[in-house]
Structure 1
Amino acid sequence: MAKKKKITMTVEKTDTGFSAFSEDYPIFTTGKSIPELINNTYEGTELHFEEEIVKFEHSNIKFEIDFKQFFKFYKVINAKFLAEKIGMNETLLSQYVQGHKKPSAKQTEKILSGIHQIGQELSGINLLQTT
């Protein structure tokens, strides 16, 4: 029976785009954008496991990025707006974003849930063209 692999990739912003690496497997890749990085990760992971009997699914790869890098890249997400949206103290969220404090697992989940909620709201919007 094939063994299922779960892989965590740490994402970092670079001068030329992004890089991702696994601490558990010798998998490292880069991309100019997040979608390119994700595709390159899938390709690199498949290449790494091609000779093993492994049940590999893209959903088994988890991408992680720290708060500071996330907010540095996704500048469109205003920390003040997010803090208000999720009911968090703006100063506290700012300290997480700047790397001065590390959020607990519960706070991290609250922040991530707020980011996902904003993403869902944005994906449901259509813009009208005015003439």
Structure 2
Amino acid sequence: MKKLVVKIEKTSTGFSAYCEKYPAFTTGKTLTELSSNMVESLNLYFDEEGKGRKVTARDLNFQLDLGNLFEIFPINVKAFSNRLGMNYTLLIQYVKGVKKPSAKQTEKILEGMQEIGKELCEIRLV
């Protein structure tokens, strides 16, 4: 079964999300709560419509734009651009939505974020 695309946006109280294919939307204070609420929202819709379909979080493909990513995870854009070897001004334009990154640039940014996440997971405090 193809995953359902769910768009995420940062709000002043947490997060909001909506499904592109079905009329389901929700909010949550955390990303975990948002995911759970979206599963519930979609399942309520499918029950109401008599579709007999049940979804889990694994059936959902959560997506957010680059600006929201930097809002959710407040990373220093200058330091991050240096780490990626990417022009700072260009990265700022991507973050602010002035320019849209190519698929290659998007992948480079995502890989850089994931690399930071892996490094953080490996940290052990003494």
Fold in common (TM above 0.5): yes
Alpha-carbon shift at residue 55 of structure 1 (Å) = 6.8
Which one-letter code corresponds to 2:73 in the other structure? Y
Which one-letter code corresponds to 1:58 in the other structure? A
* Residue 8 (structure 1) aligned with residue 10 (structure 2): no
- Between the two proteins, what is the percent identity of the paired residues? 48
User: Does structure 1 retain, via aligned residues, the 8 Å contact 2:7–2:63?
Assistant: yes
Structure 2 residue ranges without an equivalent (≥5): none
User: Does structure 1 retain, via aligned residues, the 8 Å contact 2:46–2:54?
Assistant: no
Secondary structure at the counterpart of residue 101 of structure 2: coil
Structure with more of its chain in helix, by fraction = 2
User: Does structure 1 retain, via aligned residues, the 8 Å contact 2:8–2:18?
Assistant: yes
Alpha-carbon shift at residue 13 of structure 1 (Å) = 1.3
Partner of residue 100, structure 1: 98
How many residue pairs match? The answer is 124
Alpha-carbon shift at residue 45 of structure 1 (Å) = 2.4
Secondary structure at the counterpart of residue 13 of structure 1: strand
Which one-letter code corresponds to 2:108 in the other structure? K
* Residue 113 (structure 1) aligned with residue 99 (structure 2): no
Q: CA RMSD in A?
A: 1.8
Which one-letter code corresponds to 1:49 in the other structure? F
Alpha-carbon shift at residue 43 of structure 1 (Å) = 2.2
Greater alpha carbon shift after TM alignment, 64-73 vs 111-120:
64-73
User: Does structure 1 retain, via aligned residues, the 8 Å contact 2:39–2:55?
Assistant: no
Name the TM-score, length of structure 2 as normaliser.
Answer: 0.86
Structure 1 residue ranges without an equivalent (≥5): none
